Amino acid sequence: METVKRLEAAQLYQRTDPEQFAFETTADLDDLEDPIGQSRAVEAMEFGTGIERKGFNVFALGPTGMDKRAFVRQFFEGQAQDEPVPSDWCYVNNFEEQHKPRAIRLPPGKGVQLRQDMEQVVEELRTALAAAFESEEYQTRRQVIMEEFKERQEQAFKGLQEQAQERDFTVLRTPAGLAFAPVRDGEVLSREEVEKLSEEQRQRLEQEAEALQEELQKILRQMPSWQREMGEKTRELDREVAGFAVGGLMDEVREKHSDFPKVVEYLDAVRKDVVENASIFSPSDQDPANVLSALLSGGAPPRGRGGPASLRRYRVNVVVDHSSSEGAPVVYEDHPTYQNLIGRVEHMAQMGALLTDFNLIKAGALHRANGGYLILDARELLLQPYAWESLKRALQSGQVRIESLGQMLSLVSTVSLEPEPVPLDVKVALVGERMLYYLLWQLDPDFADLFKVAADFEEQMDRSEGNQLLYARLIATLAHRDGLRPFDRGAVARIIEHSARIVGDAEKLSTRMRNISDLLQEADYWAGKSGNDVVSSDDVQRAIDAQIYRSDRLRERAQEAILRETLLIDTEGESIGQVNGLSVVQLGEFAFGRPTRITAQVRMGKGEVVDIEREVELGGPIHSKGVLILSGFLGGRYAEERPLSLSASLVFEQSYSGVEGDSASSAELYALLSAIAEVPIKQSLAVTGSVNQHGRVQAIGGVNEKIEGFFDVCKARGLTGEQGVLIPASNVKHLMLRQDVVEAVSAGQFHVYPIEFIDQGIEILTGKPAGERDEGGNYPSGSINGLVEQRLGELAAKRAEFSAAAKEAEG
Amino acid sequence: MSSEERDLVVRRILVALDASPHSLAALEAAAELAARLEAEVLGLFVEDVNLLRLAELPFTQEVCVSTTARRRLGVREIERDLRAQAARMRRTLEVYAERAQVRWSFRVTRGVISRELLAAAAEVDLITLGRAGRSFVGERRLGSTARAVLTEAPCLTLVTQHGDRLRLPLMVIYDGSPLAQKALATATALVQGLDSHIIVFILAEGGEAAHRAKAQASEWLQKRDLMARFHSLTEASVSRLARTVRMERGGILVMPAESPLLQGEALLELLDEVEVPVLLVR
């Protein structure tokens, strides 16, 4: 068996040579156009933006801190600037059904123009109509109508009066009406005089009075219809005069907008309405004829609502105005509530009642983004009640319909509006975590129909030489964007190295923009503190150190506990059944390694390995799996032909919280082997790595932190040159160790052993050969494997004896 | 001051009050004139005896104007109604008089209206009344009472209609007769101290007469430093005169109660057609 070669210092840290860069500082570099390392997402975005089919909306998924939104936005903006500016949208009054305002689509900029034209028309109408109604001609004509009515009345009464006179009667005004009285010499006959008359004369008087009264009734019954007729005539006149006054003004506007049939239709409706309701333009006009005609017609608005308030109906509410837009809109709605998305209808309080009209319709993000692009944060969207549903409905139906939530849920029944829906043509991009994407995919059947394009963001990229140069340009771009000092190439190299460390892989680089840009800003801060014009690698290092120091408290406490021997960790000497394991504690973005003592105890038993962590439910399932693999390994290797007659227990000493993961399984196995073979293990070493049933050591995560965790303890106690860490050989490519570790290794004060098989590890830990089976299938005596097999054999024999004795005792 | 001017002594103004809008105009005019001439206003409300008699008759019925329903009238009901009207008129008079700051009194009599008014007119210098009484229809012609008073009243008579205002300038009809001279004098007295001119309509049978009349009037006015504008109307019809008056849009039309050129019905016809307050001088 070959001996394990300790790793060279160069293998512990993949440096980026600043000399490979041709530039001096990032100021010499051009900005990057595209994000780096996101070719998959870029292609998805290109496809998603390019394809103009229903349902091909984009979901940009990836972890936070990737700058996904900025990426999507940049992409959309690039696309949008060459696209046509979409239409303006206006809401106008629907004169037939007031509660259903009409939507009018107009070329960009025309919406505001229509609004201004209407404002001007209304203003001009006020003067034009006032002038028309004050004109001599109108007044005369109305006078004529009134006179005609009066004359008619007079004629009727005069006739009646004449009839009365002929019959010697006079008409008298009584409290509530009129009465006829017989007269003689201009005086009404008194009762006595009437009584003196003959029966015949009296009857004649009575008959004549009766006839006159009937005649009067007939006339009076006709009065209302005459009055109506007069009202109708006055109204007709009003209409004619208003129509003439309005005509010229409206024709002008109509001509101007004659290319748009819907506007023309609207303007015609306005014209009709103005003519019908000309009186609302002159609120001060208290002309009784108008009041009368208004009352008689029953349709005109009551005078109390006259004035500017009722002129609101001729306004134009431009909800989407693209008069100053260039290209298609790209909208990011940072607060995607139901109403902010699809728009809303506001109310205003008037005399204690809530009123609304089309002027209070407010556009939502979908209106603003119509004809362009809308970016939403998936989590924000899903957090808002009904927002997700409303977005789906709009995308499915291809139109935006403004409905108030209260209306939708039938919570309120105040009169509200039903604005005409607006056709929707928008590309939506949701930005969110992967989990949300997969959950939506799984749980929402509509999701797959509406968001057919997934732009999956990569959080790491290869650390090739070309990519490192791209990375340098990325740093230049970010520095430029944030207005930072230029970074010299040393600083760039250090950042690239740190980026590899962030992803925990010497051959990869992080594409999480947040980490990088944070580091750049902090390094810039330190450079400023030191009065440097250019950020150097020292500034970067200082920023990294400061970052670590700020999140370092718990690690320091753990180290301190070890150094003060509250937590028992040996870094020298030997002991049986005891090994230093390594675990990683993750706190937010900061992780640190911590040595843990793992011990094993063996005795005779039925072949089970008891995981104490699991027994007390402190161990997770993966950890238990690792431990069960150990019994598989033991049984398979040493007890093929006899029962595995041992009972072993394993424990993480002084661990009071959960243990998860199988990265300690090789350490557990070493402890177990040491306990069985009764061979001590060197405490100057620490172990990490998982193991399979054949004894092969497999890769684990957080290798850098683990090594540094043990190194820190050793360094604090003084490096002996004996100390080191056993790591899986497959983890060597992940090494990006701290500088002081690398220095200690190159000075021979600390060692890192890449391990492939358990046998290699146990040799290093015990200093004894592991031993291989000879031709006879036996392990050499004195080798670890030999000792283990021998011990297991003894245990099996004892157990056989024991059970025979037990049977005898029973028998 | 000449003797003619001293003739215009108005101490008491009688105003005939029924509840009609025309009579309110009369009241307003009375209060205004009283204030200007330092006179006293006497309000008179006449309970129409004809109405009371009517109520006593067994066969007459009231026809309600708004519903056309018929019903019997009771004497007490009529009396109540008349009392209420009188009370209202009293209050109205009070308001107007206080506003114009003139002395006032109010009286109610019962009888035939024109007769009662004429009787009361004998004791005053000026009587004002509306051109027609209460009526449901838009009566524009002179009412019977107004006709009676206009033709028979012994004093100055002012007839108004609803909406009238006593404006300036005054208008005078002048035909050279002594009564016309008196009318001119009255008008002059009324505008005394006010910065206004007078419009004079010269009525004459021929150009010669017109010229003479104009010269007379002109001389009279010049003596009193009054500016005047003249309209000479020879052989004019009543309707032409009325049209000329209407076009001038002046204030009160002051005219002689009798004129050779405006005899009998012609005078009443003119009053029917001009739409300004008319002051008859006799």
Domain ranges of chain A: 16-32+459-550, 79-86+325-456, 111-311, 557-800
Q: Which of A663, A674, A684, A783 is catalytic?
A: A663
The Cα A562–Cα A421 span in angstroms is: 70
User: Domain check: are B103 and B233 in the same one?
Assistant: no
Q: Could you say which architecture CATH assigns to the domain A557-800?
A: 2-Layer Sandwich (3.30)
- Statement to judge: residues B140 and B174 lie in one domain: no
Residues B119 and B192 in one domain: no
- Confidence band, pLDDT 50/70/90 cuts, at residue B1: very low
Q: What is the CATH number of domain A16-32+459-550?
A: 1.10.8.60
Tell me which residues of chain A, numbers 137 to 176, contact chain B at a CB-CB cutoff of 8 Å: 150, 153-154, 157, 170, 172-176
- With residues binned 3-state (H G I as helix, E B as strand, rest as coil), the percentages for chain A, rounded to 5, are 50, 20, 30
What residues of chain A score a pLDDT lower than 70? 1-2, 282-309, 412-415, 811
Asked if B51's CB is within 8 angstroms of A217's CB, the reply is: no
Instruction: Please check whether residues B192 and B147 belong to one and the same domain.
Output: no
At residue A293, the pLDDT reads 44
Name the band, by pLDDT with cuts 50, 70 and 90, for residue B134: low
What pLDDT does A699 receive? 95
Q: Are residues B154 and B180 in the same domain?
A: no
Q: List pLDDT tens digits, range B45-81.
A: 998 888 888 888 887 788 887 788 888 888 888 888 8
The predicted structure's pLDDT at residue A196: 86
A616 interfacial to chain B (CB closer than 8 Å): no
B156/B199 same-domain check: no
Answer whether residue B100 is part of any domain. yes
How high is the pLDDT of residue A653?
92
Non-local CB neighbours of A753 within 8 Å, separated by 6+ positions: A4, A6, A7, A724, A725, A726, A727, A760, A761, A764
Q: How many residues does chain B have?
A: 282
Our separate counts of H helices and E strands in chain A read 29, 30
Task: Taking residues B189-197, report their average pLDDT.
Answer: 80
User: Tokens for A709?
Assistant: 């965790």
Residue B110 inside a domain? The answer is yes
Q: Give B186's pLDDT tier (boundaries 50, 70, 90).
A: confident
For residue B137, pLDDT over 70 is answered with no
Per-residue model confidence (pLDDT) at position A811: 65
Helix H or strand E encompassing B48: strand B40-48
| Average pLDDT of chain B to the nearest whole number | 83
Which pLDDT belongs to residue A309? 66
Q: Does residue B229 form part of some domain?
A: yes
Specify whether B155 is located in the same domain as B202: no
Give the separation between CA A465 and CA A447, rounded to whole angstroms.
41
- Chain centroid to Cα A410, Å, comes to 27
Overall size of chain A counted in residues: 811
Distance CA A766, CA A789 (A): 17
Question: Per the structure, how many domains does chain B have?
Answer: 2
Which of B139, B160, B181 terminates a domain? The answer is B160
Residue A400's DSSP bridge partners are A422
Within a domain: residue B165?
no
Question: Which of B160, B178, B196 is where one domain is finished?
Answer: B160
Whether residue B257 is found in the same domain as residue B196: yes
Q: List helix spans (H) across B141-273.
A: 144-152, 178-191, 207-223, 238-248, 265-273
Are residues B204 and B131 part of one domain? Answer: no
Is B175 in the same domain as B256?
yes
Entry pTM: 0.69
Chain B interface, Cβ < 8 Å to A? 48-51, 53-54, 56-66, 68, 70, 73, 77-78, 81, 112, 133-140
Residues B255 and B231 in one domain: yes
Partners of A187 on chain B (C-beta within 8 Å) are 50, 53, 112
State the CATH number of the domain containing residue B26.
3.40.50.620
What's the domain range around B204?
170-281
Report helix angle B144-152 to B113-121, nearest 10.
30
Q: Which two tokens stand for residue A240?
A: 């004619």
Q: For chain B, give the longest Cα–Cα distance.
A: 66
| Predicted pLDDT at A16 | 92
Answer whether A648's CB lies under 8 Å from A600's CB.
Answer: yes
Q: With bands split at pLDDT 50, 70 and 90, how would you rate the model's confidence at B140?
A: low
| 185-244 in chain A: CB under 8 A from chain B | 186-191, 194, 202, 205-206, 209-210, 213, 216-217, 220-221
pLDDT of residue B139: 56
What CATH number belongs to A79-86+325-456? 3.40.50.300
Tokens of B153: 């009243």
Q: Which of B125, B160, B195 is the last residue of a domain?
A: B160
How far is C-alpha A668 from the chain's CA centre?
46
